[in-house]
Structure 1
Amino acid sequence: MALKATIHKAQLQISDMDRHVYGEHSLVIARHPSETDERMMIRVLAFALHLPADELRGRLEFSKGLSDVDEPELWQLDLSGDVVHWIDLGQPDERRIMKAHGRAERVTVISYASSTPVWWGNLEGKLTRAPKLAVWQIAPEQSQALAALAERSMQLQISIQDGSVYVSTARAALEITPIVLKAAQS
């Protein structure tokens, strides 16, 4: 018998002063049986960091993720079904990144493992021909602290200012400083 996804619910209050994006969002997160709290919370962080200011070009949504290898963790699809923004987590290989680059207007990869410098060192030179690609790193101690906030029902306040992300709940608060390894070219 196959294991089913665990449902988590998150009430997000987002104040992104850097991009002037504000709002409250109710998320229903289907957590794959093999997914860790850390990966799930990085998905929530990715949602907050890349939420579009409006839905004129579609909504940012969680995809099937680990359940479908042909989909990213999050994506923004326009009304015609074209991929506006493809967001992957972890350390995808060059083929996956370039395939996403061919399908989407923007591609973002967020890596959060301690092996990120080694992974990125092997790929950086190969991805110079990917102008739509942005690669970010979350320090492992910060992603693990974020994982400690995971609950089945969460209320998170996320404030983003000057490149830093402040995440707080009723019981804890932490600061996350994403590091840009590669910026997308405008």
Structure 2
Amino acid sequence: MALKATIHKAQLNISDMDRHVYGEHNLTVARHPSETDERMMMRILAYALNVPADDLRGRLEFSKGLSDVDEPPLWQLDLTGEVVHWIELGQPDERRLRQAHGRADRVTVIGYASSTPVWWAGIQNKLQRTPKLAIWQVPADQSQALAALAERGMQWQISIQDGTAYVTTDKGAVEITPQLLKEREE
């Protein structure tokens, strides 16, 4: 018998002063049996950091993720089904990033392992002609601190200012400062 996904509920109250995005978002997150708390919490953080100000070009959504290798953990699809924003987590290979770059208007990768700079150094030269790609790293100690806040039902207060996200829950608070490794070209 196959293991089923565990359902987590997250209520996010986002105040992103950097992008002028404010609002409340109720998320239902299906956690695959092989997914860690850290990865699940990074998916929720990626949502908070990238949620658009409005739904004019579609909504940011969790995809089938680990259940479908052709989809990223998060994406924003417009009303015609075109990919507006493709968001990867971890350290995807260069081939997957090239495919995403060809399918989406924007591609974002958020790495959260301490080995992310080594991974990026190994594929950086292969991705020189990818202007729509941005690479970020969340320091491993910060992503692990965020993972410690995981619960089946969560309420997050997220304030984002000057590139730092302040996440507060009933279990505690974490300060997360993603570091830019590759900037998307406009």
TM-score range, shorter chain: over 0.9
Paired with 2:105 and 2:174, the residues of 1 have a C-alpha distance of 32
Output the amino acid matched with 1:135.
Answer: I
Q: CA deviation at 1:126?
A: 1.0
TM-score scaled by structure 1? 0.99
Q: What's the counterpart of residue 87 of structure 1?
A: 87
Q: What's the counterpart of residue 141 of structure 1?
A: 141
SS in 2 for 1:76: strand
Paired with 2:92 and 2:168, the residues of 1 have a C-alpha distance of 29
SS in 1 for 2:143: helix
Q: What's the counterpart of residue 23 of structure 2?
A: 23
Q: 1:69-90 CA deviation, whole Å, 9 max, x = no partner? A: 0000000000000000000001
Kindly report which structure 2 residues correspond to 1:23-172, keeping only aligned pairs within 5 A, or say none.
23-172=23-172
Paired with 1:96 and 1:29, the residues of 2 have a C-alpha distance of 24
Q: Structure 1 runs of 4+ off > 2 angstroms?
A: none
Q: Structure 2 regions of 5+ residues with no counterpart?
A: none
Q: 1:98-157 CA deviation, whole Å, 9 max, x = no partner? A: 000000000000000111111000011111100000000000000000000100000010
SS in 1 for 2:70: coil
Q: Structure 1 regions of 5+ residues with no counterpart?
A: none
Q: 1:16-50 CA deviation, whole Å, 9 max, x = no partner? A: 00000000010000000000000000000000000
Q: CA deviation at 1:170?
A: 2.1
Paired with 2:125 and 2:159, the residues of 1 have a C-alpha distance of 34
Paired with 1:171 and 1:66, the residues of 2 have a C-alpha distance of 27
Output the amino acid matched with 1:85.
Answer: H
Paired with 2:146 and 2:174, the residues of 1 have a C-alpha distance of 8
TM-score scaled by structure 2? 0.99
Q: Number of aligned residue pairs: give it.
A: 186
Q: What's the counterpart of residue 13 of structure 1?
A: 13
Q: CA deviation at 1:7?
A: 0.1
Paired with 1:172 and 1:5, the residues of 2 have a C-alpha distance of 26
- Greater Cα offset, 164-173 or 66-75: 164-173
Q: What's the counterpart of residue 179 of structure 1?
A: 179
SS in 2 for 1:42: helix
SS in 2 for 1:55: coil
Q: CA deviation at 1:171?
A: 2.9
Paired with 1:171 and 1:38, the residues of 2 have a C-alpha distance of 15
